[in-house]
């Protein structure tokens, strides 16, 4: 494990809205404090779980301003700077930097695809335009480019990248990335974004995880991290099985697909658990309702995140 | 053919840069005037050919401001409002509207995918937030969603959409879109974005075309449109064969792939033809050079767009 | 147009089954004769419309044996030799050759993908192992490789390929293939497999078409071909619009997707029209029923392929 | 762990060829005995590593006949029955059954895609046509369909499937499959085909692995399995890291891509290690040569599979 301050459990923060689709600041603070009190090692704002694609720039920077104030240096704050191509990402970087965040997270360029040369150049040019630690976000499901492990390690050795958030779903490539990073002297901090198989990433040597599901159950992810640090693999694995079952909330949704089923289920669970006040989503996504809410509540109860006799909340 | 002012040849405008990657305003004006003088029926700014994904917001609105001033109402101006999800697109719409454009062009939401319901809702919400005619841009290669013909026609009938720019590469779906639009009373103006097979789209009943290649040879596309209006299919077809051969400039590029090969070849040709002063691209894309420039010049000469004895320009 | 005997309308033949899923030989003969009497220029057996993927080898060669006998040299017979990789395809080629067919049709290798070198080598090795004319079947939706126009023309010039059946759905690449083939002296006969946009392929210079829908309406495709030969583009286009509407039978199916909706709709239409005796499909595909049958009948009646007062057949 | 005889390490066997591309029976026996002597729990013939897509039926059954004779009941023999659609797969099943194998392995249908209903029906109909244990082979990279965990568990409970070989590359879905299988009483034996992350699959609760790389280093996979049975996760993980580095032989190949790089590297390594006599491939794939062979030898030496001073073999 490197000495970097970036390690351990760094949840991507889900943003609560009120009925008018404005940030619900009290719920936001409650959720952040709940995670910090559970012992998370950092927080990541404006990632996919944070609905970054759905927020106007004004909304994005409102989130960052409030987030930095609420976190108040208790843990490092990472900010997504998600936009199409290099110059637009730099624009986001410069603004995020002004809000006092501790690190930035950028994907490969998207919308207008190029080849590997353009991807590498993209990260190099961002690096030249910010002084903050820069993480690559490997997210082919959104950007339709898989980041090559060899390139990532080279960018780490060259001081361009501080680390990687791997949400590629490619555990073979992640293993190779870990090994090549090790052989190169561990220049990169490597995080997995797949909350269902964090234990496998730890076996591969990951420096931490960025689990969206930790918004619901931060204690378990923190306990799992500690067990990993202690070499207690049976505990690592047992906690993972429990968390994987909790993640069924995203699989059992019937009314919609994609983002609305994933983050929609997180919001619905946080609402029913009393952390959020609604499960409101942003346009064009509809909040889950009816049968889907019942299914989610049932899974939360099975997994001990809601009392067995708690009623289903309605709006 | 409907009575709409949106019909005929509406090139997506390629933006010339100077060596410092700033807009080359004299070349921009020269290129716009060249197309208007050739008789094009409109101009489309901030599309893929206009490098929209690569421009900061400041750069985008600089383009629109200059474009509206240069065009000066000689032809209708369409503006791309390209961003990830609904609220961000509306932000772009409101700003574009302020610059006095005549219509807006939006893709399906991208980055965070949903299902068909979210795509339809996306266009409906944009519609509620602008008073300008709205075109759907069907561009699955960039946004990874194909727009359904049935949905498009329904959105036309409901007054949400004015028309469609089809760059889907799916000529079967385009045929069906044309037929269903006809059966519904032609609520939509339908344009093809595929410069190589505009004749096939005209056979299908298209209301016009949005050919990037018209930046190089606007005269031919205008002549083809007139032949189509006159029912002279042999001329339509003969011109198309010539234009398809000219498009070899994008196929014969060896140094790179994707956007850099396509728009990179257009810029290189316009530079060598004397319309632009360089073939400068935006980060992270490199300008074409060496052998690729020679290949493009050879094709331009074969097709009569450069004199046979003109020298190759160098920087 | 070349002097080749391969040109014009060559329908891929749909195979009727009886209730026991055996070939219904009387319906098979009736359907073949119906197409030959309409004036088609050839017949293609064991393509996708012929359920080639679903037939055992014994069933495949039963089809070829009966087909060659029924056709009895009235028109050329092409046979699909569809299998995963080169040696298996050659096995199919040798057996098909024994049944007296006039040409063979092979796809790129599939299941275990390689690169362009393997695709080219695949066709060259097949060529060395058969004396019959060989057509490349460009079908990325099934084999997940798009055939490159440059490679195809080279294989034509080298005497490896006689022609191409293009079902790639890529009208831009087809245009380029036509132009490059022309520049090379027309070594290849080029056919489109997209029944909805045959007119566009003719504009591009195609030597013919392989339309599955011609099983239902061979007369229209033959009339369209003749109009094309006469340069009567308005007739070519008018017939195409009618045929494109008829193809709605495959779009309006709700109970299933993919192959079952496409060939399933063809079989259901041929059954309701009285050419076939059932719409039986092969495992694991279910025959269409209920509402889907009603929808198909309605479209057939709108397009004049069934009498307005004909009852819906039931099993 | 269930009481099934199917568990542990079951390598998919790579087939050695002689210079005439015939099976090299002495090398085949040598390789099989080497794996059995190392303690593997079964052998899988006619999978991707066994070049099943490249073999004619005659060659496939030659492989099975020799394999069953050489193995001679020392371990269970699984046979791939890989073909396009249901009836063709059943044909393969019936023939494989005649050679005395102990279980069959089938993929989802491919080439002509349907929906989930057709995939489920496919396995059910195969089941009705063989008495042998049937495994589902989840291989979307080849067949372009991902098998749904819910469906697989249902097919296990219904007695259709004995187990699953998961080569989907989707570790999240595999975790869910393991959990749902456990909740259902463990009807399925679950194997991972990803040799680079077998440890992660064991954490998820896999019943075994089918690692192609075990053709090169069966001892390590057997030792890893034993460590897993003993709960010694640090050993499981350490061995995995070593094996993941050995797998670099497939990543460092430059001359080709896909199957030729993967199985081509395995064959080249086995040749250089003296297990095979050549690295001959089947049409249309070329054997690796030159620099690629040198690279593979260097990796084998680094990982102790070749003596440091052993010369590179040449043909």
Cβ–Cβ of C199/B194 closer than 8 Å?
A: no
Residues in chain B with CB shorter than 8 Å from the CB of A113 are 142, 258-259
Q: Helix A291-302 to helix A233-246 angle, to the nearest 10 degrees?
A: 160
Contact D245 A196 (CB under 8 A): no
| Contact of A285 with A259, CB cutoff 8 Å | yes
ipTM at complex level:
0.96
Interface test with B, best of C174, C203, C234 (most B CBs within 10 A): C203
pLDDT given for residue D2 in this prediction = 52
- Within 8 A of A179 by CB-CB distance, chain D residues are 241, 244-245
Cβ within 8 Å, pair C203-B237: yes
Question: CA gyration radius for chain B?
Answer: 19
**Mean pLDDT score, C46-61:** 97
pLDDT at A4 over 90: no
CB-based burial label for A219 (10 Å; 0-12, 13-18, 19+):
middle
Q: Does D257 touch chain A (CB under 8 A)?
A: no
Q: Residue B165 belongs to what H/E stretch?
A: strand B163-166
Burial of B74 per CB tally in 10 Å (0-12, 13-18, 19+): middle
Residue A75 carries which DSSP code? S
Predicted pLDDT of residue D124: 98
**Contacts of residue A233 in chain D, CB cutoff 8 Å?**
203, 233-234
Nearest chain D residue (CA) to A237? D203
Distance CA A145, CA B142 (A): 12
From chain B, the residues in CB contact with A122 under 8 A are 283-284
| pLDDT band with cut points at 50, 70 and 90 for residue A113 | confident
Task: Please tell me the number of Cα atoms within 13 Å of D308 on its side-chain side.
Answer: 1
Q: What is the DSSP string of D129-182?
A: T--S-EEEEE-HHHHS-PPPHHHHHHHHHTTS-SEEEE-S--HHHHHHHHHHHH
CA distance A174 to A192: 9
Does A204 reach chain D within 8 Å, measured CB to CB?
A: yes
Cα distance from A287 to chain B (closest Cα, Å)? Answer: 12
Residue-wise pLDDT for C175-185, tens only, equals 999 999 999 99
List, for residues C4-20, the tens digit of each pLDDT value. Answer: 889 999 999 999 999 99
**Residue D91 · residue D81 · CB < 8 Å:** no
From the list B9, B41, B2, the residue with the least C-alpha distance to B192 is B9
Q: Output the average pLDDT for chain C.
A: 97
| CA distance between the termini of chain A | 46
On whether the pTM is more than 0.90, the answer is: yes
Q: Which of C197, C211, C224, C302 to mutate to test the interface with B (most CBs of B within 10 A)?
A: C197
pLDDT digits (tens, 9 = 90+) for C273-297: 999 999 999 999 999 999 999 999 9
Strand ordering across the sheet containing D208-209: D8-9, D208-209, D189-192, D163-166, D134-138, D103-107, D77-80, D43-45
Q: Considering CB atoms only, which of C109, C114, C260 is closest to D114?
A: C260
Domains of chain B, earliest start first: 8-232 (3.20.20.70), 247-315 (no CATH)
Residue of A180, A192, A196, A228 to mutate when probing chain D, most D C-beta within 10 A: A196
The residue of chain B nearest to residue C168, with distances taken between CA atoms, is B170
Q: According to the model, what pLDDT value does residue B260 have? A: 92
Tell whether omega for the bond before A284 is within 30 degrees of 0, i.e. cis. yes
Q: What percent of chain C stands above pLDDT 70? A: 99
Residue A231: exposed, middle, or buried by beta-carbon count in 10 A (0-12, 13-18, 19+)?
A: exposed
For the record, the structure tokens of A270 come out as 């946080």
Contact: B196, C179; criterion CB under 8 Å: no
Please report which confidence band the pLDDT of residue C1 belongs to, taking 50, 70 and 90 as the band edges: very low
pLDDT band of residue D1 (cuts 50, 70, 90) is very low
* Contacts with C143 (C-beta within 8 Å, 6 or more apart), sequence order: C107, C108, C109, C110, D111
Q: Look at D285 and C114 and tell me if their CB atoms are within 8 Å.
A: yes
Nearest partner of C174 among B236, B169, B209, judged by Cα:
B169
In the three-class reduction of DSSP (H, G, I as helix; E, B as strand; rest coil), residue B164 is classed as strand
Chain A interface, best mutation among D233, D250, D257, D262, by max A CB count within 10 A: D233
- CA-nearest of B249, B252, B220 to B237 is B220
Q: Do A196 and D175 touch (CB under 8 A)?
A: yes
Q: How far is A115 from chain B (nearest CA, A)?
A: 6
- Would an 8 Å CB–CB cutoff place C196 in contact with chain B? yes
Mean pLDDT over A142-163 rounds to: 98
pLDDT at residue A2, rounded to an integer = 52
What confidence tens digit (pLDDT) does each residue in D57-95 have?
A: 999 999 999 999 999 999 999 999 999 999 999 999 999
φ/ψ (deg, to 5) at B179:
-65, -45
- Check whether A232 has a pLDDT greater than 50: yes
The first and second tokens of residue D102, run together, are: 């102990």
State yes or no: pLDDT of D313 exceeds 60.
yes
Rg (CA), chain A: 19
Establish if A23 touches chain B: CB-CB under 8 angstroms: no
Is D251 in the A-facing interface, judged by CB distances under 8 Å? yes
User: Within 13 Å and on the Cβ side, how many CA atoms surround A129?
Assistant: 20
pLDDT tens, position by position, A256-273: 889 999 999 999 999 999
Q: Which residues contact D198 (CB under 8 A, 6 or more apart)?
A: D192, D206, D209, D211, D221, D224, D240, D243
pLDDT per residue as tens, chain B (315 positions):
457 889 999 999 999 999 999 999 999 999 999 999 999 999 999 999 999 999 999 999 999 999 999 999 999 999 999 999 999 999 999 999 999 999 999 999 999 989 999 999 999 999 999 999 999 999 999 999 999 999 999 999 999 999 999 999 999 999 999 999 999 999 999 999 999 999 999 999 999 999 999 999 999 999 999 999 999 999 999 999 999 999 999 999 998 889 999 999 999 999 999 999 999 999 999 999 999 999 999 999 999 999 999 999 998
Count other Cβ atoms within 10 Å, centred on residue A253.
21
Structural contact between residues D1 and D206, judged by C-beta atoms closer than 8 angstroms:
no
* Residue of chain A nearest B107, judged by CA positions: A111
Interatomic CA distance for residues C306 and C298, integer angstroms: 9
Residue count of chain D, please give it.
315
Question: For residue A114, which residues of chain B lie inside 8 Å, CB to CB?
Answer: 256-260, 284-285
Nearest to A40 by CA among A65, A18, A13, A14: A13
- Give the separation between CA B66 and CA B28, rounded to whole angstroms: 9
């Amino acid at each position: 494990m490197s000495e970097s301050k970036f390690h351990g459990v760094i949840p991507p923060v889900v943003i609560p809205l009120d009925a008018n689709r404005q940030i619900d600041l009290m719920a936001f603070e409650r959720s952040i404090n709940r995670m910090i009190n559970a012992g998370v090692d950092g927080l990541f704002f404006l990632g996919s779980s944070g609905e970054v694609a759905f927020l106007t720039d004004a909304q994005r920077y409102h989130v960052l301003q409030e987030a930095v104030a609420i976190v108040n240096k208790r843990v490092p704050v990472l900010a997504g700077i998600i936009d199409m191509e290099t110059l637009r990402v730099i624009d986001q970087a410069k603004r995020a930097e002004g809000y006092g965040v501790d690190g930035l997270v950028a994907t490969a360029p998207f919308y207008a695809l190029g080849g590997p040369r353009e991807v590498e150049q993209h990260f190099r040019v961002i690096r030249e335009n910010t002084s903050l630690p820069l993480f690559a976000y490997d997210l082919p499901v959104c950007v339709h480019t898989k980041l090559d492990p060899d390139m990532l390690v080279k960018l780490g050795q060259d001081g361009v990248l501080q680390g990687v958030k791997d949400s590629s779903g490619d555990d073979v490539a992640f293993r190779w990335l870990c090994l090549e990073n090790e052989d190169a002297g561990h220049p990169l901090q490597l995080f997995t974004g797949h909350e269902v198989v964090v234990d496998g990433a730890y076996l591969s040597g990951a420096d931490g995880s960025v689990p969206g599901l930790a918004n619901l159950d931060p204690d378990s992810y923190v306990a799992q991290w500690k067990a990993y640090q202690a070499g207690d693999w049976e505990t690592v694995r047992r906690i993972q099985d429990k968390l994987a079952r909790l993640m069924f909330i995203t699989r059992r949704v019937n009314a919609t697909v994609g983002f609305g089923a994933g983050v929609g289920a997180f919001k619905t669970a946080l609402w029913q658990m009393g952390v959020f006040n609604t499960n409101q989503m942003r346009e064009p996504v509809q909040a889950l309702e009816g049968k889907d809410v019942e299914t989610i509540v049932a899974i939360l109860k099975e997994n001990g995140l809601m009392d067995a006799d708690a009623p289903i909340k309605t709006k």
